[in-house]
Structure 1
């Protein structure tokens, strides 16, 4: 779905990636990052966040917590990360980013709380219940500071992805805040939810979810209780064009992830300021029965989209032309994606060793793909900066 946008808006990125693969510098089964575009996108988002008084934290899971990605984001002015889990916190900390937000979406396991406080000392730590609040407070107290706690809240009618549920009842937020302030090592800082914004396929626009209204109502309850300077963390579908509206709705924090590499759902239907900066690259292995089998490991079709025909650019040399586009069958999520099957019945027959480039709204951290950062595409001097796994750890490739 994102391949058309990539071909139109960042063809040099595709060509450079294919050339690097053909010269043996990028492995098959790789999410490849245009670090120049990532830096520019981060700068655009940071500028707009500053203009609207929003704290901004970078989500890195979609691109496998890549260290070179983290460095590019920092060069663009976004200095802190949001860690979706402890693996994110470890990887971004290792890459030199301070952890701005921890505990959302995944809570911190009990045995890791002390290490989280001692090592990362996050600006904000989200908790879903009193037990987790006390764990965070105790850990911070041991580390010698008081932890800013965000309460994940919910109300009847809110929208959550299946398996993401949890949090405090929004109607009880004033009492929850008082309880946080009584925790040794903790203090109440604000509220959060996810998702606050969602792409609507029918209207092809991003719309606020009921959760954003829940945040606004909870914030008003807190103000009536005499609380001021409440942090309102409102992540979801974050592009720079949406930050003004988010701030007007009361948000004080935003957390771009796909927006930093130009792959939110809105980027499919509108040319937004952020340039597409990630692609999936692999290689044809063999032919059988009218199909060319390409190496898998990183295929991920985001379930936020309805089914659509998958295509890839397949060529032994850099190419973005329509003649190089071939239809592809990807194994269903219930199967292991050892290979995907490319149509080999047309005039353009793929050959073993050909490069195949896909455009996905990736989630590299749930795959077994490599993550490759490439700099110098804007200047015409592409260079591989890092080859890592989905935990931001260097891979000894090709050995």
Structure 2
């Protein structure tokens, strides 16, 4: 999906990956992140958000819930915390002492974790999508002697949900929901959220019906006397989407893919402010009936993986080939490549990722653009450190 963009906009990342692979410092099934470009992307997104008065919560699941990068975003680059899309991510970052901004969107925290969430994690907001969760959260907050701010999610008939992500209150029930929420002493309504609110239409950012539902819900809350501190409209938060977010009245965004320059916008010839900062490294494992197979583990079925670059020998020109996965239900022990290349040949891919659902490692590399790449560290796909640089 991003191979051509990678070659055009960040060839130094490819060169660094090949060098580290040849030296045996990086194993196959590794995502390599160009730290300097990642930081530059984060700064550009933050500057554009500041220009439009939008607060940023960082989303890290796409690059493996990495605590090194999360801490960098919050403590050095001015992001206001991490959005944890599930409770296990919240558990991880809490253990590292990294500020957690939003919990419960997309996955609600389980009942047994609410006490710890209120006592130890104390997020800025918790997204709530059922009255049962609101009641339980209220009691946990009372027990922790605090009032927890919550975001509510409402949906309407034309809204879009990804499969098995269907949640929220019907928009028609908003007055009743608000009235019930006001009766719960341990929580306070801080705003509205939804997902997905922005999508890419080729090289353009388009708002979805969900974004308009969220804006309507926010206005109805104001009409009922609620101070809407947050209108949080995640998905496709990047430099190019800030004007659209501003027009929709958003106060908060949650960049994820933009930090690594891998939103759908980044696959086109038209350059984006962010630069691709991540690639997937593998190597040829074996041959079978005249076909090459490389190590897998990082495949994501919505990643639009199409092409790979292979180097038949160190120093040789790259050969672009097709990546084949004939059965998406299969475990990606290996991926088949068109043509043949010697066993051990380096393979580079670039596609849309959700590293936290893979078996891959994350390798963070600094100094790429000064010609002195060095491995900062290696983490697994769930943010656990594997090795120091």
Superposed pair shares fold, TM > 0.5: yes
Tell whether the 8 Å contact from 1:301 to 1:362 is kept in structure 2 after alignment: no
Cα distance in 1, alignment partners of residues 48 and 176 from structure 2: 35
CA distance in 2, matches of 1:315, 1:9: 23
* Aligned ranges 1:277-288 → 2 under 5 Å: 277-288=277-288
Aligned residue in 1 for 2:63: 63
Contact 2:222 2:228 in 1 (8 A): no
**CA contact 1:314–1:326 (8 Å) conserved in 2:** no
Cα 1:80/1:286, change in 2 over 3 Å: same
Q: Deviations over 1:178-204 (max 9, x none)?
A: 322321311111111100111224xx4
| 1:134 maps to 2:135 | yes
Cα deviations across residues 157-196 of structure 1 (Å, max 9, x unaligned)? Answer: 1111111111011233233233223213111111111001
How many equivalent residue pairs?
387
Counterpart Cα distance in 1 of 2:306 and 2:291: 16
Could you tell me which residue of structure 2 aligns to residue 219 of structure 1? 218
- Cα distance change on mapping 1:331 and 1:30 into 2, 3 Å: farther
From 309, 313, 334, give the equivalent of 2:310. 313
Which residue does the alignment assign to 2:246? 247
1:1-399 aligned at under 5 Å gives the runs 1-74=1-74, 75-201=76-202, 204-269=203-268, 270-302=270-302, 309-317=306-314, 321=317, 323-344=318-339, 349-395=340-386
Q: List, as ranges, runs of 4+ consecutive aligned residues in structure 1 with deviation greater than 4 Å.
A: none
Q: 1:91 to 1:377 in 2, by over 3 A?
A: farther
C-alpha deviation, 1:71, in angstroms:
3.6
State the 1:318 CA deviation. 6.1
Please give the TM-score of this superposition, normalised by the length of structure 2: 0.94
Distance in 1, matches of 2:80 and 2:129, equals: 26
Distance in 1, matches of 2:93 and 2:266, equals 26
Query: 1:79 and 1:378 mapped to 2: Cα distance?
Result: 28
Residues 68/143 of structure 1: CA separation in 2 closer, same or farther (3 Å cut): same
State the superposition RMSD in angstroms. 2.0
- How many Å apart are 1:252 and its aligned residue? 0.9
- Deviation per CA, 1:291-342, whole angstroms, max 9, x where unpaired? 1111111122426x5xx743333344367x5x42122213532101111122
TM-score, with length taken from structure 1 = 0.92
Seen in structure 2, the aligned counterparts of structure 1 residues 155 and 281 have a Cα distance that, compared at 3 Å, is same
Q: Would the alpha carbon gap of residues 22 and 158 (structure 1) be closer, same or farther in structure 2, given more than 3 Å must change? A: same
Distance 1:108 1:332 in 2: 33
3-state DSSP of counterpart to 2:8: helix
Q: Following the alignment from structure 2 to structure 1, what is the Cα–Cα distance between the partners of residues 222 and 185?
A: 24
Once residues 369 and 119 of structure 2 are traced to their aligned partners in structure 1, the CA distance between those partners, rounded to angstroms, is: 40
SS in 2 for 1:378: helix
- Preserved CA contact (<8 Å) 1:86 1:108: yes
The answer to whether the 8 Å contact 2:207/2:244 transfers is no
